[in-house]
């Protein structure tokens, strides 16, 4: 007895190895899909992409995958953390090299963006360390006595004058920067003030 060719017997159906498809059906036209875990029909944007499936979408919806991952993680937190730690230590050189490159690139961008500010802060810090400038223990604005490590230098004349600073506590320093930001907004009609 020979192999029965179902495509000849039933022209509507076409059998493939991976999936049974109805002739003329296309996954591109598909707008909804049924989750194989929760059995609810949902829109395609509720499914992650997956290259292995013919529909190019995962069989479980995003919610089911998230719940499954949380259950796996919280079922035995210590065991999961230990696995992650071992995985990190196994590839520690690779991880450190990747982090070094990432931080180097990130810092380059940051430095280019805030070059003048960075140089002004560096000059001020050097002057304080070398003793050219004495850092007070009292905020110039609110007159509260604090340890010197909690007093910050505010470049009130701009970053072009790195050693011209007001010594402020963190709260007053934040207030000063918020005032400058509000004053430099274009909708108020003032030009950008240099800070």
pLDDT tens digits, 88-139: 889 888 888 888 888 877 777 777 778 888 888 899 999 999 999 888 889 8
Topology of domain 92-195, per CATH? DNA Binding (I), subunit A (1.10.30)
Q: pTM of the prediction?
A: 0.40
Confidence of residue 83 (pLDDT cuts 50, 70, 90): confident
> Can you list the alpha helix ranges (DSSP code H) found in the chain?
6-9, 62-75, 77-90, 92-113, 115-130, 170-183
3-state secondary structure of 112: helix
3-state secondary structure of 176: helix
Residue range 43-53: average pLDDT? Answer: 89
Q: Which residue has the higher pLDDT, 85 or 54?
A: 85
- Give the span between the Cα atoms of 50 and 164, in whole angstroms: 58
Written as six digits, the tokens of 128 are 């304080």
State how far the alpha carbon of 62 is from the alpha carbons of 21, 35, 89, in Å: 25, 9, 31
Residue range 74-99: average pLDDT? Answer: 86
Q: What are phi and psi of 9, to 5 degrees?
A: -70, -40
Which contacts of 101-106 are long-range, i.e. CB under 8 A and separated by 24 or more positions?
none
- Give the span between the Cα atoms of 150 and 139, in whole angstroms: 9
Quick one: pLDDT at residue 181?
Answer: 64
pLDDT(195) > 70: no
Domain spans in the chain, listed from the N-terminal domain onward: 6-70, 92-195
Confidence of residue 188 (pLDDT cuts 50, 70, 90): very low
- Give the span between the Cα atoms of 34 and 54, in whole angstroms: 14
Task: Please give the angle made by the CA atoms of 77, 81 and 84, to the nearest 5 degrees.
Answer: 145
Cβ 144 vs Cβ 128: under 8 Å: no
CATH of 6-70 among 3.90.550, 3.30.60, 3.40.50, 3.30.70: 3.30.60
Count of CA atoms in the C-beta half-sphere (13 A) of 101: 5
């Amino acid at each position: 007895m020979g192999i029965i060719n179902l495509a000849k017997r039933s022209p509507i159906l076409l059998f493939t190895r991976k999936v049974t498809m109805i002739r003329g059906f296309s996954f591109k036209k598909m707008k909804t899909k049924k989750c194989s875990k929760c059995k609810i029909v949902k829109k395609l944007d509720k499914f992650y992409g997956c290259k292995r499936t013919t529909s190019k979408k995962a069989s479980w919806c995003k919610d089911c995958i998230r719940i499954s991952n949380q259950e796996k993680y919280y079922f035995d937190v210590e065991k999961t953390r230990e696995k992650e730690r071992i995985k990190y230590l196994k590839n520690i050189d690779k991880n450190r090299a990747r982090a070094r490159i990432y931080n180097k690139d990130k810092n380059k961008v940051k430095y280019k963006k805030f070059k003048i500010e960075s140089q002004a802060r560096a000059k001020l810090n050097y002057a304080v360390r070398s003793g050219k400038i004495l850092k007070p223990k009292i905020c110039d604005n609110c007159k509260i006595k604090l340890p010197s490590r909690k007093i910050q230098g505010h470049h009130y004349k701009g970053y072009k004058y790195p050693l011209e600073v007001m010594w402020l506590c963190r709260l007053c320093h934040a207030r000063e920067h918020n005032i400058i930001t509000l004053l430099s907004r274009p909708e108020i009609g003032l030009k950008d003030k240099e800070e």
